[in-house]
Structure 1
Amino acid sequence: MLGGCMLGRGMLGRALGMSLLASVVWVSTVHAEVKDKSEQGFRVVVEREVDAERAVAYVAFYASVGEWWSADHTYSNDSQNLSIEAKAGGLFRESLPNNGSVKHMEVVFAAPGRSLRMVGGLGPLQEQAVTGVMTITFTESGEGKTKVVLDYRVGGYIPGGADVWADAVDGMLSETMDRYQRYIATGNPEAGTPE
């Protein structure tokens, strides 16, 4: 909810009234990095600054995941099938046809407006003998702005070594957080197409 209305495609952008300006801010606040990688695992950290208060940024992350997550990174090819229940034991899940489903991650820590932690392997990592821990933190970074840091640590056994996966995961998570940032700014996660 933003100002009493649902965070739907286009509504957030109109409510914030930031299209062109947000694109300029977005360019200057992008940071992503493979912090560490070895055969046993890797750590990817992606930082974005969004034009929203912490509470709004937090709620948009989980409640509107189906609006900003890319369909290219789903099993159903439809991001509207995604949901995150932001409480301990809640799931980041995806509905599939014929009553199928995917448990992408499980929420193990939820501090509204501050932090969300989930455990699990995203996408093809789910098939590997690894554990992933994703922590998303939300901190004030100025008036009406929030710094969002996604820290994903993966460890375990992957044939050929986990290190060869680090750059691909970094790319996917960077794209994902770009979409989230644009969604907060404009109500539309697509590049160059503000509503």
Structure 2
Amino acid sequence: MLRLAKWLARRNLDTLGPYLTQGVPIIGLEPSCIAVFRDETSNLLPHDEDARRLRTQTLTLAELLQRHAPDYVPPALKRPAIVQGHCHHKAIMGLGAEQRLLEMMGVDWGTQDWGCCGMAGSFGYEAEKYAISMQIGERFVLPAVRDAPEAIVIADGFSCRSQIKHGAGRHGVHTAQALALALDQDQMTIGA
């Protein structure tokens, strides 16, 4: 499927090219999509200047805030949280910016890495791999989520949130949604 992947990469670059040339940051929310922009596109089109720009100009929300709003002070999240890092996020972007942002919000990041949630993109959706996917999730993250019903579950990856919902019966939120919740808490506190 390399021919299709290159065609889609080229289409993305043709669409984003004018913005890339102007230096506009490209903000992604889904870690897998950000990984495509930061890693796979430039691997598919290694001599393309727009692919190089896309690699350097694509940011997560936390990276955007860190890079372009260094004095931003996020609202405090006034409840415990569990953070599940998406595998592509860990491997390609790293979680440093997210950790700094969430710690500034009062989230106790801790030292626990719950590894892969088990979904691994479409892996856990495939019937013949479902049992393995659930076994992986049961190693760490799913029991942790079930054992902390008062905690908000922050998981930027759609596949991670899907696995957590299916395996632990909980709805996870994206970092952007956690920020919105913290803002709502502040408004509720101010208005109370």
Per the TM superposition, whether the score is higher than 0.5 is no
* Larger Cα-atom Rg: 2
Greater strand fraction, Structure 1 or Structure 2: 1
The higher relative CO (CA closer than 8 Å, separation ≥ 6) is in 1
